[in-house]
Structure 1
């Protein structure tokens, strides 16, 4: 790449469906846009849920684009093009069925966000993603997000937070299960657009602020 700043990259990844991965990616993309980033939300999942969300939107930002499997190895060049277009952030919704083919994407991520619901099944399903990152020496780029948590008071949330803290960096805050998330994605919105004064929107803004501070300023290409 040239001396220009390349877009920062946040990948949302976990080898399990139903964890709220796409919902989290879309709302983070919108929240980052509202915070001043020029965001491209890449749908790298063949299921295409994020891309379908994009077709429902009237707003021009964030930009939504597909990233097909044969393009994974070209992601560095794609980021270079993104920099030339003035984009500052890429959020990548990765495939949920298999993580083996996305190593090239994860290596370029400044942070890999792994959403985990507070259950043993979800914890076990997240381990292959965590192990892949550790094997590639990327453990410091890992952030675990407790997602779709039951409303407080819930002893499960605190219990799993303690267990996950030993596996990697815990993002803050935990994201509670709220109907605003489902309503927003069904309408092609981020939760901070759909219900900007709600608790769900406040949690997503706080999570984006945490991620922004964690990944730091853009790096030069």
Structure 2
């Protein structure tokens, strides 16, 4: 499966989710490659920090911030179980290429009306991509939210009936994500029995239950 985390809006937690999902699937024994398609290269920086800390390699991280991604990612997928694309904000050509490569477009949003409005352009790109890849699946994932806040609950309820809909799993605003990233780690490596680690594991399971994949010749 090729999963692309995409949103035109920056700061919604795409890289954090991409890294931790890749790590969760790697922990399950899957062969995983993460493609850093963001010109800022945050996932590559994380990988470099991990090497500096002499931590074991869990999955490959490669930089492919170019609009040929839709041709290159499927080739990479031939030799892996999961490809995770950390997409760029505000670079339409790269996002179009990532959408054409993906089996699942995961759109992280925060519980804010501003995030909903900012997603309109992203959804237009999904609609455009489906002209060429009608099998493309898209889902919102509610990220960086206080699970007990009224706004988070209302946003989740609104997105249930949206097209695309939201996954039932929500990811909280937790300092563990930033603490792990600073040292090239994942939240599960800090402590498997924390809300952050459990939420990532639940999100990974929810994505797998969608039953999405591709048959490569």
Give the TM-score normalised by structure 1.
0.87
Q: How does 1:44-193 map to 2 (within 5 A)?
A: 44-57=37-50, 58-75=55-72, 78-83=73-78, 86-137=79-130, 138=134, 141-150=137-146, 152-165=147-160, 166-193=162-189
Specify every segment of 5 or more residues in structure 2 that has no aligned partner in the other structure, as ranges. none
CA deviations over 1:14-43 (Å, ceiling 9, x no partner): 011111111111100101111221100110
Distance in 2 (alpha carbons) for counterparts of 1:41 and 1:25: 8
Cα distance, 1:74–1:136 mapped onto 2, change above 3 Å: closer
Number of positions where the alignment pairs a residue of Structure 1 with one of Structure 2 = 209
Query: Structure 1's 114 and 81: CA in aligned 2 closer, same or farther, altered over 3 A?
Result: closer
Cα distance in 1, alignment partners of residues 66 and 100 from structure 2: 15
What's the TM-score, normalizing by structure 2? 0.89
Long gaps (5+) in structure 1 = 1-7
SS at match of 2:169: coil
CA contact (8 A) 1:110 1:215 kept: no
Higher relative contact order (CA 8 A, sep 6+): 1
Q: Secondary structure at the match of 1:148?
A: strand
- Give the aligned CA root-mean-square deviation in angstroms: 1.8
Distance 1:100 1:71, change over 3 A: closer
Moved more, 95-104 or 184-193: 95-104
In structure 2, the residue matched to 1:11 is 4
